[in-house]
Amino acid sequence: MHRFQQYRIQGKVSTDGFRSFSMLREFRTGRTFARLVLILMGILLVFLFLPWTQNIRASGYLTTLRPEQRPQTINAIIAGRIEKWFVREGDLVKPGDTILLLSEIKDDYFDPRLLERTRQQIDAKSGAMASYQQKVEALSRQIDALAQTRDLKLRQAQNEIRQAELKVISDSTDLVAARANEAIADAQFNRMQQLYADGLNALTDLEARNLKFQETRARAISAENKLLASRNELINARVELISIDQQFRDKLAKAQAERSASQSEYFGADGELAKMEVQYSNYAVRSGYYCVTASQAGYVTRAIRAGIGETVKEGEELVSIMPIRYDLAVEMYVEPVDLPLLSPGHRVRFIFDGWPAIVFSGWPDVSYGAFGGKVFAIDRMISENGKYRILVAPDPNDHPWPEGLRVGSGAIGMALLDDVPIWYELWRQLNGFPPNFYQKDNGRSRSNQGMGKSGLKEKEMN
């Protein structure tokens, strides 16, 4: 056998025409395939150790950072009828520009001279208030005059009482003196009678003494009458004092009642005047709402109520305006399980609708057409769709966002997390574990891996 192997016919005899020789040819395909498999496995092994950036994907749409920069809807403040449009959709308006004109539909405001007539009513009420004020002042002066007159009258009556008291005292003294004289005259008359009876005096002397006694008695009676008259005058003076006081009390009470009534009418007129002033102000403000104006500079995007002659109610939407200046942001929603992985300032990459992009989610630095952003705000309460809303602003250190973006267009966001090897990411995906997240600690990033048998451990974010 070995001797035959030493003699080869390869290269000496043409074997192409013999089928048996082609079946006995030696092939090296298996060895080449093995080498290729080993090379591919080596490449795959190296590939598994390449770095991979974990991320959270969420869809959203473009909005603005500030509420006043978002699309605004202009509402009808009052109910009215559309009379004329001054703009078209797509027009640029400035603050204060008239958009449309409304006319009145309520019968309380049909009068074209409503403000003028209301002002006349206010002026008339002001005049009535002035009259009431003058009446109050006149009654106050009358009350003061009555009070002064009462004081003078009371003083006068008190003086008359004092005079009557002094006159009573004087008449009482005269009565005492007259009675003393009467007693003396009576004693003298009695002695004269005794002397006459004894024959010591003449009859004429007795009669003279009797006459004097009668005169003295008459003077005593006159003094007593005078005293009684003086006492009556004293009583009358006191009654007059009480009467004067009562009369002036009645007059003062009547004047004060009239003044209080005038003051009440004045205050009532003042309240009505204030009410009419408020009504006039409401009419004036309402007249300013007939012209619907733009609140800020922007573009008229859509006329919600169109046509001439249509009636609108209070608060009904008329037209929408997009502000001309705004700061773009992306409003995206993430699952509650991913919320602890995000915080303000977190990096996010976006793919905007209508802008071509070649994205490698694990290698954001080599992607094309993706734009950077940072988390600006995170809602504290879950949304109606069961997710949390996140507002992302442009990253000032990254490429600026395209100028052609418009509010409302879609966006796909990728929140960048920790850098891990590819084999770890594959293992995590197969086991359904959540991604890692990193926290900055003194300028260095450290990774918290929430992996375990349960699939998720508690994470705390500083």
Domain CATH for 401: 2.40.30.170
238 and 298 fall within a common domain: no
Q: How far apart are CA 131 and CA 265, in angstroms?
A: 10
Residue 151 lies in a domain: yes
Residue 461 lies in a domain: no
- Among 50-54, 64-68, 334-338, the range scoring the smallest mean pLDDT is 50-54
Q: How confident is the model at residue 334, as a pLDDT?
A: 86
- Among 330-334, 378-382, 420-424, the range scoring the smallest mean pLDDT is 420-424
What pLDDT digit, counting tens, does each position of 83-122 carry?
999 998 889 999 989 999 999 888 888 888 888 898 999 9
The pLDDT confidence band at residue 219, using thresholds 50, 70 and 90, is confident
Cβ-contact 174, 254 below 8 angstroms? no
The pLDDT confidence band at residue 346, using thresholds 50, 70 and 90, is confident
Q: How confident is the model at residue 440, as a pLDDT?
A: 45
Residues 260, 264, 265, CA angle at the centre, nearest 5°?
120
153 and 230 fall within a common domain: yes
CATH number of the structural domain spanning residue 164: 1.10.287.2610
331 and 309 fall within a common domain: no
* Residue carrying structure tokens 């919320």: 339
Helix-, strand-, coil-residue percentages of the chain, each rounded to 5:
50, 25, 30
118 and 64 fall within a common domain: no
- Among 292-296, 305-309, 339-343, the range scoring the smallest mean pLDDT is 339-343
Segment of 42-56, 133-147, 357-371, 409-423 carrying the highest mean pLDDT: 133-147
Across the chain, mean pLDDT equals: 79
Q: How confident is the model at residue 49, as a pLDDT?
A: 66
Residue 32 lies in a domain: no
127 and 194 fall within a common domain: yes
137 and 277 fall within a common domain: yes
| Amino acid, single-letter form, for residue 227 | L
353 and 414 fall within a common domain: yes
pLDDT value at 65 more than 60: yes
What is the domain extent for residue 149?
Answer: 114-288
Q: Of 323, 344, 375, which marks where a domain is finished? A: 323
Q: Of 234, 266, 288, which marks where a domain is finished? A: 288
The pLDDT confidence band at residue 275, using thresholds 50, 70 and 90, is very high
252 and 269 fall within a common domain: yes
Q: How confident is the model at residue 32, as a pLDDT?
A: 73
312 and 352 fall within a common domain: no
* Residue carrying structure tokens 């473009």: 62
Cβ-contact 241, 159 below 8 angstroms? no
CA distances from 414 to 59, 330, 447 (A): 9, 12, 18
Taking the mean position of all CA atoms in its chain, how far away is CA 6? 112
Q: How far apart are CA 18 and CA 10, in angstroms?
A: 13
What DSSP assignment string belongs to 343-375? Answer: -TT-EEEEEETTS--B--TT-GGG-BS-EEEEE
What pLDDT digit, counting tens, does each position of 119-172 carry?
999 999 899 889 889 989 999 999 999 899 889 988 988 898 888 888 888 888
What pLDDT digit, counting tens, does each position of 230-251 carry?
889 889 888 988 888 899 899 8
Q: How confident is the model at residue 180, as a pLDDT?
A: 84
Residue 185 lies in a domain: yes
pLDDT value at 413 more than 50: yes
Q: Of 288, 315, 336, which marks where a domain is finished? A: 288
Cβ-contact 349, 369 below 8 angstroms? no
Q: How far apart are CA 83 and CA 153, in angstroms?
A: 77
Number of structural domains the chain divides into: 3
Residue 458 lies in a domain: no
Q: Is 172 helix (H, G, I), strand (E, B) or coil?
A: helix
* Residue carrying structure tokens 């405001």: 109
CATH number of the structural domain spanning residue 306: 2.40.50.100
Q: How far apart are CA 99 and CA 89, in angstroms?
A: 11
312 and 242 fall within a common domain: no
Residues 166, 172, 178, CA angle at the centre, nearest 5°?
140
Q: How confident is the model at residue 67, as a pLDDT?
A: 86
The pLDDT confidence band at residue 352, using thresholds 50, 70 and 90, is confident
DSSP state of 434: P
Q: Answer whether 0.75 is exceeded by the pTM.
A: no
What pLDDT digit, counting tens, does each position of 174-206 carry?
878 888 887 887 887 787 777 777 777 677 777
Q: How confident is the model at residue 190, as a pLDDT?
A: 80
Residue 41 lies in a domain: no
Helices 29-48, 422-431: inter-axial angle, 10-degree rounding? 80
238 and 311 fall within a common domain: no
Residue 462 lies in a domain: no
246 and 213 fall within a common domain: yes
Residue 197 lies in a domain: yes
329 burial via Cβ count (<10 Å: 0-12, 13-18, 19+): buried
